[in-house]
Structure 1
Amino acid sequence: MQKKRRLRSFNISLATTAVIIILWSTVTSLKLISPVLLPSPLRVGQTFINLCLVGYNGTLLYQHYLITLGRLLVAVVLAIVIGIPLGLLSGYVPTVKAVVDPIVQFIRPIPPLAYYTLLILWLGIGETSKVTLLFLAALPPIYLACFDAVVKINREYIRGASSLGADQRQIFFHVVFPAALPDVFTGVRSAVGVAYTTIVSAEMIAASAGIGWMIVDASHYLKSDVMFVGIIVLGVTGVVLDWMIKLVENRVVHWRGKF
Structure 2
Amino acid sequence: MIGIPLGIAIGCHRVVRGIFDPLIEFYRPLPPLAYLPLVIIWLGIDESSKVTLIFLAMLAPIVLSARSGVTSVRIEQIQVAYSMGATPWQVITQVISRGALPDIMTGMRIAIGFGWTTLVVAEMVVAERGIGFMVLNASEFLVTDVVIAGILVIGIIAYCFDLLMRYLEAKLIPWKGYN
Fold shared, TM-score > 0.5 on shorter chain: yes
Task: Tell me how far 1:255 sits from its aligned partner.
Answer: 2.4
What secondary structure is seen at the aligned counterpart in 2 of 1:228?
helix
In the alignment, the residues of structure 1 paired with residue 135 and residue 62 of structure 2 have an alpha-carbon distance, to the nearest angstrom, of 28
Partner of 2:34: 114
Q: Distance in 1 between matches of 2:32 and 2:165?
A: 24
SS at match of 1:238: helix
Gaps of 5+ in 2: none
% identity of equivalent residues: 45
Matches within 5 A, 1:19-168: 81-168=1-88
Distance of 1:218 and 1:235 partners within structure 2: 17
Shifted more, 142-151 versus 157-166: the winner is 157-166
Aligned match of 1:223 in 143, 166, 172?
143
Higher helix proportion: 2
Q: 1:172 aligns with which of 88, 92, 103?
A: 92
TM-score by length of 2: 0.95
CA distance in 2, matches of 1:219, 1:158: 56
SS at match of 2:129: coil
Match of 1:183 among 99, 103, 106: 103
Give 1 or 2 for the bigger CA radius of gyration.
1
User: Match for residue 254 of structure 1?
Assistant: 174
Residue 216 of structure 1: how far off its partner (Å): 1.0
Provide runs of 4+ in structure 1 moved above 4 Å.
none
Give the aligned CA root-mean-square deviation in angstroms: 1.1
Q: Is the 8 A contact 2:138 2:147 kept in 1?
A: yes
Alignment of 1:208-219 (within 5 A): 208-219=128-139
